[in-house]
Amino acid sequence: MALTGRIPCDFGNLTFLVSLDLGSNSFHGNLPQEMAHLHRLKFVNLSLNNFRGEVPSWFGFLEQLEVLNLGNNSFTGSIPLSLSNASRLEVLDISLNSLQGNIPEGIGNLHKMKLLSIKHNQLTGSIPFTIFIAFTGNLLNDLCNDLPILKGLYLSDNKLGGHMPTSLSNCSEIQILSLSLNEFDGPIHNEIGRLSNNLRILALGSNYFTEIIPQEIRNLVNLVDLSVENNQITGSIPISISNISSLQLVSLWGNNLKGSLLREIGNVTKMQFLFLRENRFTGEIPKEIRNLVELEELSLGFNSFSGSLPTEMFNISALRIMSLSFNNISATLPPNIGSTLPNIENLYIGGLTNLVGTIPHSISNCSKLTILDLSGNKLSGLIPNSLGYLTHLHILNLAKNNLTSDSYLSFLTSLTNCRRLTVLSLSLNPLYGMLPVSVRNFSKSLVKFYAAACNINED
C-alpha cells in the first residue's frame, strides 16, 4: 500500500494479534521493543521494506511463532541465538539483508522447520554441526537428521565453505536445495542421488566444486532445475541426465567439461534452457537437438565444437537466445532463417571461423531481434538493406568479415529506422565511401560506431 514511516510503539498493545503482514511497503527504522509483548503472533511478514538495525532477539521468545519473514530489508548484525527458542517455527526467511557472522548452532534444533532462507547476506564460516556437522572445515553430515520435514533450504550468496554434505538421504521432503554463490569445495558426492524424489531445484553454482557430476543424479527423477555452473567440474555430462524427462533448465557453463554433447540430450523434450558455454566440449553438435522443441535459450559458445552446424537447430521456433560464438564450426546461414526463428531476440554467431556465405535477406523477418552478432567470420557479399527493418535492434556487430561496400551508403541510411541502436560495428570489412549526412545525425541512441580498418570517411 506504499505505506511509509516507522512502526509505532503502540503496536505492543495489540496483544491479541495473531497475524501481522506489513510486507511490500516503505517502512523504515528499527522494530520497536514493545512488539515483544505480542505473544500470540503466529505469522509475521515484514519483507520488502527498509527496516534496519539488528534482528530483534525477542522474536525467539514469541512461543506461537510459525512464520517469520524479514527478507529484503537492511538488517545488520548477526542472526540472534534466541531464534532457536522459537520451537514452532516452520518458515524462517532472513534473505537479502546485510547479516554477518556464523549461522547459530541452535537453528538445527527447530524440528518443525520447512523452509530456511538465508541467501544474499554476508554470512561466513561452515554450516554449524547441528545442521551440517562441521569438522575441520568439512561438512560430514546434514541437517536432515534434525529437520526431516524441511522442504526448502536456501543458503546461496554468502561465504559459507567446506565440503558438500555426505549424508542427505534423510531429507525425505526436500524440494529445493540452493547452495550457490558460496565457497563450498570438494566433489559432488554420489549421495546426491539419495536426495528426495521430490527434489525439483538443485542449485550448486558459483562455488569451487571439483571432479565429475555423479551418475547417481539420474535418481532425481522429478528434477526441473539443475544448476552447477561456474565451478571446476571435470569429465563429461553423465548420460543419465537424459533420463530425467522433467528437466527444464540445465546450467553447466563455466566448468572444465569435455567430450561430445550427448545425442541423448534430445530425449529431454521439456528442456527450455540449456547453458553449456565456456567448457571444453568437442565434436559435432548433435542433430537430435532439434527435438528440444520448447527450447528458449541455447548457449554453446566458447567451446571447441567442430564439424558442420546442423540446420535443424534453426527450426526450433521457440528460441529467443542462441549463442554459438567462438567454436570451430563450418556453416552457412539458412536462407529461410527469418521464418524458422520468429521469436529470436539475441543471436550470437561470432567467431565460428568457417561461417561462410551471405547474410540472408529473410533475417529481416526476425522482427524481435535486439542483438545480432555475426562478427569474426567469413561472410561475404552485400550487407542487405533489409536489416533496417529490424527496428528493435540494440547491437549490430558485422565486424571482421568480407562484406562488400556496393550498397554501403543505402545500407547505413536504412538503419536510421533502427532508433534503438546503441552499438554498430562494421570494422575490418572492405567497405568504403562517405558517411552520409543522414547517419551523422543518426539517432540519439547510437553511442558507439566502429568503422576501423574500413575506407569510410567519417568527416
Q: How far apart are CA 39 and CA 113, in angstroms?
A: 20
Q: Is the pTM of this model over 0.85?
A: no
pLDDT for residue 75: 96
- DSSP-assigned states of every residue in 208-245: EEEEPPPGGGGG-TT--EEE--SSEE-S---GGGGG-T
Q: How far apart are CA 172 and CA 170, in angstroms?
A: 5
- Report mean pLDDT in 10-residue bins for the chain, 459 residues: 94 95 96 95 97 95 95 95 91 93 82 84 72 30 49 81 68 81 90 82 95 92 96 94 94 96 93 97 94 96 92 90 94 91 95 89 94 95 90 94 77 83 90 66 72 66
pLDDT for residue 459: 47
Nearest-CA neighbor of 195 among 234, 142, 242? 142
pLDDT for residue 404: 83
Which of left, alpha, beta for 299 (phi over 0: left; psi -120 to 50: alpha)? beta
In the chain, what is the straight-line distance between the N-terminal and C-terminal CA atoms, in Å? 56
pLDDT for residue 137: 26
Q: Are 284 and 305 in contact (CB under 8 A)?
A: yes
Amino acid type, 368 = K
Q: How far apart are CA 134 and CA 154, in angstroms?
A: 18
Burial class (CB in 10 A: 0-12, 13-18, 19+), 457: exposed
Residues in the chain: 459
Burial class (CB in 10 A: 0-12, 13-18, 19+), 224: middle
Q: How far apart are CA 237 and CA 241, in angstroms?
A: 8
